[in-house]
Every structure is written in structure tokens, then in C-alpha cells.
């Protein structure tokens, strides 16, 4: 449970790239990290806002 919390709440929801999280967790395969990384709807929405802002420039 701690890995799920760290991955989703502490790192990914604060903008840390999944590649970095993977290294922090000591994984050699991204698929292993993705097991722990449950991307929340809030993060998806925030990412889309950032993308829209970049495209509007």
C-alpha cells in the first residue's frame, strides 16, 4: 500500500515523471512501475490544461 500511495499521491500527482518514479522505486521495467501508478482523474485534467495552454501559445 505504501508504494501505491507514494507513487500516486506523493510523486505523480505532483508532476514527477513516471520514468523518475520508476528509478526511485528501483524498477528496471516501466510495466512494473505502472502496476503501482494509478493515475487519478484530477491529474489527467491538470495535464490537459497545461497542454491546452502550450498549444494556445
- What predicted TM-score, i.e. pTM, was given to this entire model? 0.65
C-alpha cell at 52: 491546452
Per residue in 32-47, pLDDT (tens digit) is 888 877 776 777 788 8
Dist. CA 36–CA 19, nearest whole Å = 13
The closest alpha carbon to 3, from 22, 16, 17, belongs to 22
Residue 5, number of CB atoms within 10 A of its CB: 11
Per residue in 1-56, pLDDT (tens digit) is 888 888 888 888 888 888 999 999 999 999 988 887 777 677 778 888 999 999 99
Rg (CA), the chain: 13
Amino acid at each position: 500500500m505504501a508504494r501505491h500511495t507514494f507513487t500516486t499521491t506523493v510523486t505523480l500527482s505532483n508532476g514527477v515523471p513516471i520514468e523518475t518514479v520508476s528509478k526511485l522505486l528501483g524498477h528496471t521495467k516501466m510495466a512494473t512501475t505502472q502496476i503501482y501508478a494509478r493515475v487519478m482523474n484530477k491529474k489527467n485534467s491538470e495535464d490537459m490544461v497545461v497542454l491546452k495552454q502550450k498549444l494556445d501559445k
